[in-house]
Structure 1
Amino acid sequence: MGWPTRATKPRRRHTGTVSWVKTTLLFVCATTATAYQVPSPGQQPLVVDSNGAAFHGETNLASISGAPKAAIASSPFDDAFRALVADNLATWHVPGVAIAVVDGDLAWSEGFGTAVYPDKAVTPDTLFYTASTTKAFVAAALALMVDSGNYSVGSGQQKLDWTTPLSTILPDDFVVGSEYAGRSRDTTTDRDHAWATARLTVEDALAHRTGLAGHDPSRSRRYGLAPDSAGRNATVRDVTRSLRYLPLHTSPRTEWRYCNLMYLVLSHAVETLAGGQWLGDILHDWLWQPLGMSSTFLSLDDARAAPRENVLAQGYYYDTDQDEYVGVPHMPLEEVSGAGGIISSVNDYARWLRCWIDGPAFSSKGSNSSTADVCGGIPFQRPSLDAVLAPKMFLGKSTASPAPFDAPLAYASAWTTGSYKGHRFWGHSGGSNAFGAEVYFFPDDRFGVVLFGNTATTSNMAELILLWHLASERFGIPADERYDWDARFRRSVKARAARIDGALDRLYPGRAEPPLQPSLPLVDYTGTYHHPAYQNMTIELARKDSGHKINSRNNYEVAFTAERHDYTWPKLCEFVHVSGEYWLLYTDMLYEHSGNFKSYGRAWFEVSAGGRAHTLVVEFWNADDDTVEGVIPFSRVDNGET
């Protein structure tokens, strides 16, 4: 094992694909809970079953030596909690969830429900996509790089640190917005883009304060010259270089704005600093192997090749019309990388939490042999961990404390931080096209919880209800003082649906009635339009028998559709005519029809004097907060032939 050096190693595997799966609704519960007391060096792990009886034996959640010992505690997974889990899985339509709790010297883990229909139950070793909880590992790898002093940037005179500009690490690749043609609602300037290119730092990217919006629809699995969307696989370098074609949302460092793209830039930076070594190997060698996280991967193929006990969960969405779960294809991870590409188990993540709780980040001893042992000998240094965990930006514009927290939530580097009933915490959510993850720890209480589930969005809702229940039980919060997370999420779902249903009136409040007709026959608008960051948008006439309809609640007539199969989040786009050349755009996932990913935007065609539709302009909106992501011009590339 080597700590941060410039040695180059080959990439291990490439990702694959999986076939479509459709199954009927079934609920299975695995009820065996185990807890693990940290042994002395060389001692077999002490296993505690759900009744509190202790015995020595083999376990998949092996201990990490060096942590202090405490009396055996009872399992938090009692009958009442199991009933709560079953109720929430049924209410939020989640097939299964795995949970691990780190409490003092013990770690309890259990699986509930179904990993793969019809009969594979969730266990603590079941593999799930952990999505954006991956980001904390990128931050930890950068902390090791900074601490090592082995990495120089620019002319070689400056050591890597948190204030290092990204452009000094990636001088040819990291350019922000220089090629973006300003459109309406673009509130930034060329000066902002030039400043961002020259001065945005490693820490700015970690803290989501770059001024760049999410632009998740720009993430493609394939890159190549238009109109060839079946080109080569995307790389983190491709994504980094695409930033020159994207507008800033706000001036840098003025607003917190979540941006997965910047963690792909950081992935490219880490790999570049490490001499071209693949991020999956870096994380394995520097973090996962020393922590004993043997079931953690940054490759779908690696996860599929895991030992038999590490079943890879199938992701699902719930079809309300058919009253059944429908399988969603596993997402390839090549271009997801450090933004959200990990597949792991809650047993492995319990080791990760133990390192944060009892390691040098919060130990009064700082960095010494005992705290390093908790982290498997990883040479973390307290100053860099402090830099990772320090708050950087408030999550909202209001300074009011959001219920149920004691103070405004803030974002550190790959962690959200706040206080609940006097208990400090750091945590992060993760969501992919069919999975949800929640990872939280309360260092002053030596307490942490990790939960993984196999639906998008609704997993996170069920997990957060369970997480805050466990925390409230642990801290002795009276029942009448606990926050109603279920009611909050129901309000959130209802409000989001209302935003989607009301998009036409909000986005086009002064539209002509009756509407003006398009200037061209509809078939003349069809064809392939290209943007160098968003890649291809191929417009087709809508088929009457197309099946899934995004705007089914409004039932507007759809004129055009575009299926974007090659995207990280494969999308279906529907165009509803508004007036003249203006259209209302609805988007949703191609293979996940729960409605949790529905969004909207404005679109219009630009037509030449000769009667050719040469440009499609799309104003993408974020349905979560009803804000503009960016105005993106797609240029026609099929010579106008129909």
Structure 2
Amino acid sequence: MDLLKTPAFAAHVESLLKEHHTPGVSIAIVHDDTFSSAAFGKSVISSDAGSEERDCTPDTLFDIASCSKSLTAAAVALLVEDDVNFPNVKWDSKMSDLLPEDFVLEKDEYTRDVTIEDILSHRSGLPSHDSVYMGTKAKRPDTAKSITRKLRHLPLAKPIRSSHMYCNLMFTVATHLIETLTDKTFSEFLQERIFAPLNLTSTFLQPSSVPPADRDSRLACGYSYRESTSTYHAIPVFDTPEDQGAGSIITSVNDYIVYVHALMTHAPPFTQAIQKALVTPRFALPEYNDDRERLQSSTLIGLGWEIFYYRGHRVVQHDGSISGLTSTHFFLPARNFAAVILCNGDAGYPAVAALVRELIDQTLGVEPSQRLDWPEIFTRGRGVRGEAESEDADGEQKNEEEKAPSSIDTAGAKDMAELTLADQPEKERGSEEKYIPPPFPTSDLPLDRFTGEYHHAGYDSFVVGVRASPEGGEALFIDAADRCMGFGIALEFVCRAEAGGDASSPSPSEVKFLAYLTDVDECETEILEAVFVVDGDDRTDAGGKIGKARRLGINLDEDIEGLIWFERV
């Protein structure tokens, strides 16, 4: 009997969706060349905004987020395999040899030595730097080429091949490589070399490529559940050309399972050599010592894939997660089994992770008495490790408490942010009416000394403004909703500190703040350090007041020692 079609399985999945506040999920599997798919719940739920409720089906279209990375790596593999047209493209080819004008890193030895396989296995020495992506509504929107050329301005964090640091940027760089070498857009290359040969008629790069009729009837909306109000916040899917390669693939489970099956079975356009190259480990992460990893080896990093052993069987997998959406795809080569799971809730990871283990147990024929309660195990540990993004530079689990000083209570900031978002109409992110987090009262500081535009060659510009505080008075804020992964920053004054000398010396003065960075869509808040520097003779006026700020530093990437510094424009 087809597992996906049994009443017991349907009831189980519906229960998981309800528990994890996820409207819908689509699942497709293939075992010994027999395909099956099913869907549960809703792809769109009704709202006050007037959206019509739609059932989730196996043909529902989802943005699959980082599950796109395996496709990017496979696209590069097609160039590596083509000795006739691209004889210089090998996995160990130096990126700077292939893109001499564009691929330049902060240090010459990195520029000289980083290879194709380094950028596709997250071991280039460059940390995430996700905040550099400028979205389509920005004054200066990014492209794959502009992202590549920004690399020279971004601080490196580790020696090459010494650490695993998840880096979306490098997968976007890989698409610039493809576009430069083939003289085609990444979308054209995917269509000609992968989508058309596999007859993937429901797979696209960017939602704008989806035919209008299908966009209106088949595209799932993402949802983030608000615990404070027990409501769903709709997060529409929109174009993010700036991060192509790292994400932005729109597909259905019925389509994407065909791609995964072709890669697993070496079907054209893929070969055994391509599959072997993609799933050969390039880096090993440390073991995890908790129940979620029971019966499982440590994770190995391939090219666009992660590999681990579960009950002694090799599993090749990659997850995906963006605001409002969670996804995964995996295959067991020795068992000729693969699956794709796509859902439209950003709280859905525990459900998806549990379903992966349950499907594998079923395929392996594990006796019911020997199976673990995976839903309970992953629910108990829902706060950590969805995929590699939640690991630090050495692959160690992050402690949520380490993200903020222990003496600081972040609850108030998060509640205020959620309240502000709840009062706003649902809209496409990046529109003119942007989310701005609630600021904090900033004592009696002369705020005009800090306001203005600050620029970094890699991170572009932050504009520091002033707005009324809910707690009275005015406060500083930064609206960064025009970035791909949009956010806002509310600044809370901490102290003023002399970096050196006394009040009459030309040494700089630092004014320190807590920066409450709140994600535009999910309302998740983290506390960062922010420092304004007042330089030279303008440090103080005759009355000893703070002079005009010249620089702004914020620790925007946790793998970087120190702050990212923006200079006043």
**Structure 2 residue 74 is matched with structure 1 residue 160:** no
Is the contact between residue 67 and residue 320 of structure 2 (CA under 8 Å) also seen in structure 1?
A: yes
Alignment-derived partner of residue 253 in structure 1? 161
**Structure 2 residue 9 is matched with structure 1 residue 93:** no
Alignment-derived partner of residue 333 in structure 2? 443
How is 1:293-312 mapped onto 2 (pairs within 5 angstroms)? 293-305=200-212, 307=214, 311-312=218-219
**Structure 2 residue 277 is matched with structure 1 residue 387:** yes
**Inter-partner Cα distance in structure 2 for 1:520 and 1:434:** 38
**Structure 2 residue 327 is matched with structure 1 residue 327:** no
**Inter-partner Cα distance in structure 2 for 1:447 and 1:244:** 42
Classify the secondary structure of the residue corresponding to 1:115: strand
Alignment-derived partner of residue 607 in structure 1? 534
**Inter-partner Cα distance in structure 1 for 2:2 and 2:292:** 33
**Judging changes above 3 Å, is the alpha-carbon distance between structure 1 residues 473 and 398 closer, same or farther for their aligned structure 2 residues?**
closer
Classify the secondary structure of the residue corresponding to 2:274: helix
**Structure 2 residue 523 is matched with structure 1 residue 633:** no
Pick from 283, 290, 314 the counterpart of residue 197 of structure 2.
290
Give CA deviations for 1:212-261 in whole Å, capped at 9, x if unaligned: 111111111259xxxxx523x32101001111111111111100111000
Is the contact between residue 307 and residue 316 of structure 2 (CA under 8 Å) also seen in structure 1?
A: yes
Q: Which moved more, 1:90-99 or 1:537-546?
A: 537-546
Q: What is the deviation of 1:628?
A: 4.5
**Inter-partner Cα distance in structure 2 for 1:539 and 1:281:** 40
**Structure 2 residue 421 is matched with structure 1 residue 421:** no
Q: Which moved more, 1:557-566 or 1:194-203?
A: 557-566
**Judging changes above 3 Å, is the alpha-carbon distance between structure 1 residues 546 and 273 closer, same or farther for their aligned structure 2 residues?**
farther
Alignment-derived partner of residue 507 in structure 2? none
**Inter-partner Cα distance in structure 2 for 1:417 and 1:116:** 33
Q: Which runs of 4+ in 1 moved over 6 A?
A: 397-402
Give CA deviations for 1:101-125 in whole Å, capped at 9, x if unaligned: 1122211111111111222010000
Pick from 135, 149, 171 the counterpart of residue 263 of structure 1.
171
How is 1:198-209 mapped onto 2 (pairs within 5 angstroms)? 198-209=112-123
Pick from 132, 137, 140 the counterpart of residue 71 of structure 2.
137
Percent identity over the alignment is: 29
How is 1:345-360 mapped onto 2 (pairs within 5 angstroms)? 345-357=252-264, 359-360=265-266
Q: Which moved more, 1:584-593 or 1:392-401?
A: 392-401
Is the contact between residue 526 and residue 541 of structure 1 (CA under 8 Å) also seen in structure 2?
A: yes
**Inter-partner Cα distance in structure 1 for 2:495 and 2:369:** 54
**Judging changes above 3 Å, is the alpha-carbon distance between structure 1 residues 329 and 381 closer, same or farther for their aligned structure 2 residues?**
closer
Alignment-derived partner of residue 449 in structure 2? 524
Alignment-derived partner of residue 575 in structure 1? 491
**Judging changes above 3 Å, is the alpha-carbon distance between structure 1 residues 330 and 543 closer, same or farther for their aligned structure 2 residues?**
farther
**Judging changes above 3 Å, is the alpha-carbon distance between structure 1 residues 174 and 296 closer, same or farther for their aligned structure 2 residues?**
same
Pick from 454, 470, 476 the counterpart of residue 560 of structure 1.
476
**Inter-partner Cα distance in structure 2 for 1:163 and 1:523:** 52
**Inter-partner Cα distance in structure 1 for 2:402 and 2:481:** 26
Pick from 13, 16, 37 the counterpart of residue 109 of structure 1.
37
**Inter-partner Cα distance in structure 2 for 1:491 and 1:331:** 31
Gapped regions of structure 2 (runs ≥ 5):
47-52, 385-397, 411-441, 497-510, 539-546
**Inter-partner Cα distance in structure 1 for 2:409 and 2:112:** 37
Is the contact between residue 224 and residue 521 of structure 2 (CA under 8 Å) also seen in structure 1?
A: no
**Inter-partner Cα distance in structure 2 for 1:107 and 1:120:** 24
Is the contact between residue 404 and residue 526 of structure 2 (CA under 8 Å) also seen in structure 1?
A: no
**Inter-partner Cα distance in structure 2 for 1:92 and 1:567:** 28
Alignment-derived partner of residue 240 in structure 1? 148
Q: What is the deviation of 1:520?
A: 5.4
**Judging changes above 3 Å, is the alpha-carbon distance between structure 1 residues 400 and 319 closer, same or farther for their aligned structure 2 residues?**
closer
Return the TM-score normalized by structure 1.
0.72
Q: Which moved more, 1:580-589 or 1:563-572?
A: 580-589
Q: What is the deviation of 1:492?
A: 4.5
Classify the secondary structure of the residue corresponding to 2:516: strand
**Judging changes above 3 Å, is the alpha-carbon distance between structure 1 residues 403 and 322 closer, same or farther for their aligned structure 2 residues?**
closer
Is the contact between residue 466 and residue 477 of structure 2 (CA under 8 Å) also seen in structure 1?
A: yes
Alignment-derived partner of residue 491 in structure 1? 381
**Inter-partner Cα distance in structure 1 for 2:225 and 2:451:** 33
Gapped regions of structure 1 (runs ≥ 5):
1-72, 153-157, 178-192, 224-228, 361-374, 508-516, 548-556, 638-642
Return the TM-score normalized by structure 2.
0.81
Classify the secondary structure of the residue corresponding to 1:474: helix
Classify the secondary structure of the residue corresponding to 1:282: helix
Alignment-derived partner of residue 508 in structure 2? none
**Inter-partner Cα distance in structure 1 for 2:369 and 2:467:** 53
Q: What is the deviation of 1:546?
A: 10
Classify the secondary structure of the residue corresponding to 2:563: strand
One-letter amino acid of the structure 2 residue matched with residue 535 of structure 1: D
**Judging changes above 3 Å, is the alpha-carbon distance between structure 1 residues 564 and 125 closer, same or farther for their aligned structure 2 residues?**
same
Is the contact between residue 603 and residue 617 of structure 1 (CA under 8 Å) also seen in structure 2?
A: yes
Q: What is the deviation of 1:539?
A: 1.5
**Judging changes above 3 Å, is the alpha-carbon distance between structure 1 residues 519 and 272 closer, same or farther for their aligned structure 2 residues?**
farther
**Judging changes above 3 Å, is the alpha-carbon distance between structure 1 residues 256 and 405 closer, same or farther for their aligned structure 2 residues?**
farther
Classify the secondary structure of the residue corresponding to 2:204: coil
How is 1:35-50 mapped onto 2 (pairs within 5 angstroms)? none
Pick from 97, 102, 124 the counterpart of residue 58 of structure 2.
124
Classify the secondary structure of the residue corresponding to 2:21: coil
Classify the secondary structure of the residue corresponding to 1:634: strand
**Inter-partner Cα distance in structure 1 for 2:526 and 2:259:** 35
Is the contact between residue 127 and residue 313 of structure 1 (CA under 8 Å) also seen in structure 2?
A: yes
Q: What is the deviation of 1:141?
A: 1.4
Q: What is the deviation of 1:629?
A: 7.5
Is the contact between residue 25 and residue 39 of structure 2 (CA under 8 Å) also seen in structure 1?
A: yes
Is the contact between residue 615 and residue 634 of structure 1 (CA under 8 Å) also seen in structure 2?
A: yes
One-letter amino acid of the structure 1 residue matched with residue 80 of structure 2: V
Classify the secondary structure of the residue corresponding to 1:291: coil
**Inter-partner Cα distance in structure 2 for 1:126 and 1:546:** 45
**Structure 2 residue 128 is matched with structure 1 residue 214:** yes
Q: What is the deviation of 1:490?
A: 3.5
**Judging changes above 3 Å, is the alpha-carbon distance between structure 1 residues 138 and 162 closer, same or farther for their aligned structure 2 residues?**
same
Q: What is the deviation of 1:352?
A: 1.2
Is the contact between residue 292 and residue 377 of structure 2 (CA under 8 Å) also seen in structure 1?
A: no
Alignment-derived partner of residue 30 in structure 1? none
**Inter-partner Cα distance in structure 2 for 1:396 and 1:619:** 26
**Judging changes above 3 Å, is the alpha-carbon distance between structure 1 residues 466 and 402 closer, same or farther for their aligned structure 2 residues?**
closer
**Judging changes above 3 Å, is the alpha-carbon distance between structure 1 residues 311 and 558 closer, same or farther for their aligned structure 2 residues?**
farther
Q: What is the deviation of 1:493?
A: 1.8
Classify the secondary structure of the residue corresponding to 1:138: helix
**Inter-partner Cα distance in structure 2 for 1:201 and 1:504:** 43
**Judging changes above 3 Å, is the alpha-carbon distance between structure 1 residues 401 and 245 closer, same or farther for their aligned structure 2 residues?**
farther
